[in-house]
Amino acid sequence: MTDDLLPHDSQPASQPDKQPSRWQRTVAAVGRVAVAPFNTAGYLYRVGQRNQHFTLPVLNGAFGDQLAERNDRRAIQMSFRRHAADVPVASLRLQPTAEGRPRKTVVFLHGLMGDEVIWQAGTPEGLRYGPRLQQDTDAHCLYIRYNTGLHISENGQLLDALLTTLLSAFPAAIGELILVGHSMGGLVARSAGYYAARRQGASSSIADTDSTAETSNWLAHLRDVFLIGVPNDGSFLEQNSHFTSVVLRKINLRPTRFISGLIDKRSNGIKDLRHAILVDEDWQDPHANDLFPPRTLVPPLPRVRYHVLVGSLLKSANSALHDYFGDGLVGAGSALGRVFGDPALPPEQQISTRVFPKLHHGTLLSNPEVYQYLRDRV
């Protein structure tokens, strides 16, 4: 009897290494293609959620003014931050020392498209400036997050109001006040000082003797302002972007108009970096978009010490490349700021400048020498 006559049950089992048919492979491939967008979207969503502290500030830096105008929930509101969340001023619960003396209070301000994490995130060498300063001193260290897409002057006025509220809430806990700003954050600090001084001048002209107003005057507490990699005379990158947009618009062809329109979608905060616009009147001026627009002089505040810290990609600080490129994002000439080198400043005005060679814009925030400079003066 041949094998062909064996009963069906006695046929050998199906071969385990039998390959799927071409039809089966096609169906499986089509299925993978069909679900790929959903898997990709899910992956991007999970990555976005894990890195929201990074993606949301970037979104606000690029289009934050438009988000705020639409009352979009993604528009960042200026606030103090703790544990990756906004904190009302009253919830900060600042306390004086055990002896009842007020503490030094250091307020950190991040730059364009940043958030408070830049002052806190760990490095291979250890903690960054905020937590290290909290450990090494008896100071309150506070962090502010804000919408960097808004006009710098708008954020300056918001900061003025926030610091006024802070001093009103904890008059006995806050002694000397120190502002530390990186990049755009330094410009916001300068703008806040301008508006606080203007408001103080207006109130003093009315002979306001209200003790509550005097207690909440944060300028009276302000001792030091640290400007780390701050484009005090404007950003060469934004100046180039503006010039490119103007040239493309002048060519006036459909493609160049389209590209120019895309460039002009950048936020008001970025546009203000072109010439470090610190007051409302400058960006409201009809000539604000000229190549050389009007610019209000914002001098250093009296009785306040300014520390102008400049990064340089080069070893030497004596070259045109150093003045123009500086730390790669902010030119050294702009960071030093003409207003801080003005010979007409009163002799009692204290301005300290220091250049840190071989540091770029980002490593200014994680360098032992920069931290030691900050630590020694706080």
The tens digit of pLDDT for each residue in 168-194 reads: 999 999 999 999 999 999 999 999 999
pLDDT for res 300: 97
More confident residue, 284 or 28: 284
pLDDT for res 70: 96
Contact 76, 146 (CB under 8 A): yes
The CATH classification of domain 76-235+293-377, taken from the options 3.40.50.1820, 3.40.50.1970, 3.40.640.10, 3.90.1150.10:
3.40.50.1820
pLDDT for res 41: 52
Q: What is the CA radius of gyration of the chain?
A: 28
pLDDT for res 207: 46
Would you state the structure tokens that stand for residue 376, as one six-digit string? 């020694």
pLDDT exceeds cutoff 70 at 7: no
Q: Which of 77, 57, 79, 76 is nearest to 163 (CA)?
A: 79
What are the tens digits of pLDDT across the range 306-357? 999 999 999 877 888 888 999 999 999 999 999 999 999 999 999 999 999 9
pLDDT exceeds cutoff 90 at 271: yes
pLDDT band at 17 (very low <50, low <70, confident <90, very high): low
Distance CA 56, CA 62 (A): 10
Residues contacting residue 323 through CB under 8 Å, at least 6 positions apart = 331, 332, 333
Helices marked H in the chain:
22-50, 52-69, 129-136, 152-169, 184-205, 211-215, 236-251, 254-263, 268-272, 280-284, 320-325, 332-336, 368-377
Q: Which of 97, 114, 108, 110 is nearest to 132 (CA)?
A: 108
Q: 3-state class of 6 per DSSP?
A: coil
pLDDT band at 246 (very low <50, low <70, confident <90, very high): confident
pLDDT for res 46: 57
- What is the DSSP annotation of 19-77? PPPHHHHHHHHHHHHHHHHHHHHHHHHHHHHHTHHHHHHHHHHHHHHHHHHTT-TTSPP
Q: Residue 122: which region, alpha, beta or left (left: phi > 0; alpha: psi -120 to 50)?
A: beta
What are the tens digits of pLDDT across the range 41-84? 555 445 455 556 689 999 999 999 999 999 999 999 999 999 98
